[in-house]
Structure 1
Amino acid sequence: MVDKRNLEEKINKVLEKIKIIDIHTHLFPPSFKDLFLYGIDYLLTYHYLIAETVRYLPISPDDFYNLSLKEQAELVWKTLFVDRSPISESARGIVTILTEVGVDFEKKDLSLIRAYFDKIDMESYVDLIFEKAKIDYVVMTNDPLDENEMKYWKCNIFKDKRFRPSLRLDRLINDWENIREYLKVKDYKEIKDHLDKWFLMIEPLYIALSFPPDFRYPDDMLRSRLLEEIMLYAEERKVPIALMIGAKRSVNPSLRLAGDSVGKSNIESIENLCRSFPNNKFMVTMLSRENQHELCVTARKFKNLMIFGCWWFLNTPSLIEEITKMRLELLGFSFIPQHSDARVLEQLIYKWKHSKEIIKKVLYDKYLALIRSGWTLKEEDIERDITQLFRKNFEDFIFSKQ
């Protein structure tokens, strides 16, 4: 039996043992060569850290991006780790990564840190990072309209079960006129042949779409008609659609990827989709904190809606704690608590280590309240519940044909 004295130990035991499914990343396997990002220079030039660095310095974003990758990394290191304490979540993440892989950074000498990454064996290194982060497999973000990425798929070299595909169709649905010419189709109803080709090549677990805060469904825009075509196709293929809503793109274009922001979105559109397409399954994450409560309540009303993760600007300790508490209180264990959104391999370590620390704390408080209410809790109950959160909810939602 579990009680207050051993509750934390039992939760820790399960969290240390469980192999996580990371349901949304921007990672690629080593066989994708230039798309496979790893090492200290890519970690330091993560767009979160670029935006933070430029705030401190008398340098324009254009001047920053005119520097080489190594020069950018050196400037970020000096600004955030030498001249200041790395207190932000993304900066602390670098410290966590270096600590976990055993790099001595006491001297704050970037050349010594680089020397560690220069010596790694790539195939065993991927396994090492997955083991450190306790990852079973990650789901990639695969864009069939990215010619650089597609050259790897066309070579039929992808055989890495640590990396599973998803089909990202943002450009198809948000830039139709240009994509229509690229695909050489006259009408949006002709996209099925292309979807068939992409599915055969990639074999995705789900279709993914991201939308800005002003997304509405239904409306009189062509985007809604395209979305409906994709809905019908997803139903036919029996795959879920992941919707990521709320990113305001390029509010500061000079910052490039670091220049995106956040806006409050419309929940009624999610309700309309879930109600209008009851045979489709929707995984939804929203970027604005102000959307989270309403999204939880909406998930209570629709079985075909699975909410997931604390995305992007929500991936901060204070907000992960707040949102996870609310989800447990409203949805029990019927949600997916987190995804990493990692772009650089080693980010799996810090994003999951930091998130699990917070989720552990929330679970402890909720289980303790349950015990005090008179419930008898067993270790196998904790294992069952945590497995549901970090594995079973996703795989049941993906692979169930209901």
Structure 2
Amino acid sequence: MLKLGLFLIGARSFAASAHYALMGGVLLIACGFLGVIVPDDQGVRIGLAILGLGLATRACVYVGGLVLHSGLTVATLILSLLFLLVSLVWMAAPVIGARPAAVALAVAFTIDGLSRLPLIALVRFERWRDGVLLASGELLLAWVLASEWLIPAYKSLALLSGISLSVSGHSLLRLALLMHNGGPFGSLHDFLTGDLRSWHREIPKGRRPECEKQSASLAVRLYIWTPKFAVAGSTSWPLVDRYLMTFGEGGKPSAGHAALGIDSDLYLSHWPVSEISAGIRDLPHVFYSGRNKDMPGLFPPSYAFECEDWIPADQCIEFRTRNADAVRAYWNAYRQNTAYNITDRNCSIVVANALELAMEGHLRTRHPWLRLARLLVHPALWQASYLRSRAHHMCWTPGLVLDYANLLKQVVEPSGRAASSLSVVRTR
């Protein structure tokens, strides 16, 4: 979440204050070590009360923001209330003790860890063992917190707080290093992306094109064909038909589609040459991401071509960007390989990468640290970071890209409208 906020503000904003990132990173890491070695539980409890107050305030802002943005669904309401409950229990640690706070946090880690494992098992991406290790680490940490195995509750909470501060400090140190090496035109996309997946190998490394500072603001249009809309007579499979695929008449599957256009000369879309045939029981086989699942792909030249060849999109989101050159460089590199893989080289992965490149530095400002502080309490940024982490343990799909883009829209253009449903007529 911190990384995404830094990325949206961009390297140019932080270039003049890279030394603050360096000092902040060192300070956070030092505080993290201090939290680990603090000797008595009373100081820890006071610290937990202060931290819990901040978390509870942020949780209230999160829930309120969801309501105001009409983004409150059953799932997000449950997650928000859990977050609020954990925060309140943590804040009450000086009165009720560290034990209830540790148990509440253990429950949160258990839910998060268990929700990641099925996604990893479904996709089995190239470094799936690392993903399992990370999820297992969450479950182990939950066990340590709940059972007080080897470490007392107050000490385990101090350890967790120290680790959290150290990770944030490491992010700021990486930012300072990037600023030192790349200057105001250094790209932060490597800083944002994780190492579990290899989706970003086509993205040019290092500096962004300097000509972007003279470029005009161009319209970015994200087109989404949702799975349920893409096939007639689709059956309802909660969550599956939103984020994976749905099945229509005769068992015809559809995972939907995503494409992105900038101005009139740049259109990003990737599609398999042959349709994928599968049933609901074949999902583990279809979503396996091994290289033996690569198939020939094609690049439709325009949205008009896709409308004529198939059907118009049912959702559209529009942004503004000055980073068209960076997106064009990425697309030129990506098209050197036509291979399509449903979980490693698909239409949604192309669009997610391109959208992030287009949004890098969109919130640049003369006061980046103040803007970052405001972003850290923005509910949509928390949700977007959560969706992004889930995509890296599964894959980007049209449903995930749609939700992610809507959340980014709330962050970078708060007065703008979210995805608009297009009035379309099915042609087949």
TM-score scaled by length of structure 1: 0.26
TM-score scaled by length of structure 2: 0.25
